[in-house]
């Protein structure tokens, strides 16, 4: 759903109201920056796994909005690339958190630990997608 909003920006808002978007771009970038900062700082202390993934998603989408409203070709390409990549990584992280919740019925991060010996395939996938979500590759 977050990506749909960004697609709406690109497909309709920039097509119909391009001058207005250019006039308001500093304000939109400011709001996006505040949302990035707030979501990323609050994700540091988050204990609920699903909320943690959601807050990192908010931060990523703030970066996407900022890239779109800078109005340069490379930032636009980067924003689209981030939309596509984030579509895969956030879906996968929500899926992995759902697997854990299905087995143990809690989303509290602090009660988990030591799953690498019991669920190695799960932990491999979690490693791949958390590093992808952090922007490692």
The interface with another protein within residues 15-44 (CB under 8 A) comprises 15, 18, 22, 29, 33, 36-37, 39-41, 43-44
| Closest distance of CB 18 from another protein, Å | 7
* Number of chain positions touching another protein (CB under 8 A): 76
41 to 80: interface string for another protein, x by CB under 8 A:
x-xx-x--x--xx-xx--x---x--xx--xxxxxxxxx-x
| Closest distance of CB 7 from another protein, Å | 9
| Closest distance of CB 24 from another protein, Å | 15
- Contact status, residue 25 vs residue 71, Cβ threshold 8 Å: yes
Give the CA dihedral 18, 4, 35, 64, nearest 10 degrees: -60
| Closest distance of CB 1 from another protein, Å | 18
Site for another protein in 80-119 (CB under 8 A): 80-81, 84-85, 88-89, 91-92, 95-96, 99-100, 103-104, 106, 109-119
Is the C-alpha dihedral spanning 79, 80, 86, 87 positive or negative?
A: positive
3-class SS of residue 135: coil
- Contact status, residue 127 vs residue 90, Cβ threshold 8 Å: no
Nearest to 49, CA basis, from 119, 121, 110, 129: 110
């Amino acid at each position: 759903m977050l990506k749909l909003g960004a697609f709406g920006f690109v497909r309709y808002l920039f097509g119909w109201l391009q001058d207005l978007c250019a006039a308001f771009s500093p304000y939109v970038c400011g709001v996006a920056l505040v949302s990035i900062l707030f979501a990323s700082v609050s994700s540091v202390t988050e204990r609920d796994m699903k909320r943690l993934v959601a807050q990192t998603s908010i931060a990523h989408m703030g970066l996407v909005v900022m890239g779109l409203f800078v109005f340069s070709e490379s930032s636009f390409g980067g924003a689209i690339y981030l939309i596509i990549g984030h579509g895969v990584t956030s879906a996968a992280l929500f899926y992995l958190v759902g697997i854990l919740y299905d087995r143990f019925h809690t989303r509290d991060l602090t009660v988990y630990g030591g799953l690498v010996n019991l669920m190695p395939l799960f932990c491999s996938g979690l490693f791949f997608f958390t590093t992808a979500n952090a922007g490692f590759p």
